[in-house]
Amino acid sequence: MRHWLEKATTWWAVAGGVLLLLMILVTVTNVGAFALDRLARLWGASVPALPGYEDFVRLAISCAALMFLPYCQLKRGHVAVDLFVTRMPSGVRRILDATALILLCALGLFLAYWMTLGMIETRGDGAVSRVLGWAEWPFYLPGIVSLLLWAAISALQVAGHAESG
State whether residue 128 is helix, strand or coil: strand
Cβ atoms of 56 and 132 within 8 Å: the answer is yes
CA–CA dist 105, 77 (Å, integer)? 15
Q: What is the pLDDT of residue 136?
A: 97
Q: How many CB atoms lie within 10 A of CB 49?
A: 15
Handedness of CA 83, 89, 94, 100 (dihedral sign): negative
Cβ atoms of 78 and 72 within 8 Å: the answer is yes
Band of the pLDDT at 81, cuts 50, 70, 90? low
Flag whether the pTM goes above 0.75: yes
